[in-house]
Amino acid sequence: AQSVSQHNHHVILSEAASLELGCNYSYGGTVNLFWYVQYPGQHLQLLLKYFSGDPLVKGIKGFEAEFIKSKFSFNLRKPSVQWSDTAEYFCAVMGNSGNTPLVFGKGTRLSVIA
C-alpha cells in the first residue's frame, strides 16, 4: 500500500523567503504525484502534478516540485513566498496501475508573516 510522509507539520516564513516542503512516498510501482493546497476555509486545489517526463514540474502561483525517483521524494519549492501563500499543503501519491487510491500525507501548514 502507498504511504506519504510530509516532514514538516508547521512552517513559518517571512515574506520573500524561499520555501521547500518535504514529501517522501512509499510505493512499489510507478506513481503519479500531486501537491494540493487548501486555503483557509476552502477546498483542495491542485497546485501541480507529475505523471512522467521531466522530473521538475511547474505549477500555478510560482510553485514547482522535483521528483527524485532514487529518493522517493517530491519536494515542493517556491523561491519567494507571499502572505497569500498562507495555507495548508498536501502531498499525495497514486499508483499508476488499476484503481489505486489517492493517498495523502498529513499536510504542512504554512504561515507567511509580513
Partner 1 sequence: EAQVTQNPRYLITVTGKKLTVTCSQNMNHEYMSWYRQDPGLGLRQIYYSMNVEVTDKGDVPEGYKVSRKEKRNFPLILESPSPNQTSLYFCASRRPGQMNTEAFFGQGTRLTVV
Residues of the shown chain interacting with partner 1 in the complex, contacts defined by CB under 8 A = 6, 9, 32, 34, 36, 42-46, 49, 51-52, 90, 94, 96-99, 101-107
CB nearer to partner 1: give 16 or 102: 102
Residue written as grid cell 483542495: 44
C-alpha cell at 84: 497569500
CB of 71 to partner 1, least distance (A): 21
CB of 33 to partner 1, least distance (A): 11
CB of 80 to partner 1, least distance (A): 27
Amino acid at 31: V
CB nearer to partner 1: give 79 or 101: 101
- 50, β-bridge pairs: 33
Q: Residue 92's closest CA among 35, 39, 24?
A: 35
CB nearer to partner 1: give 10 or 71: 10
Give burial (CB, 10 Å; 0-12/13-18/19+) of 92: buried
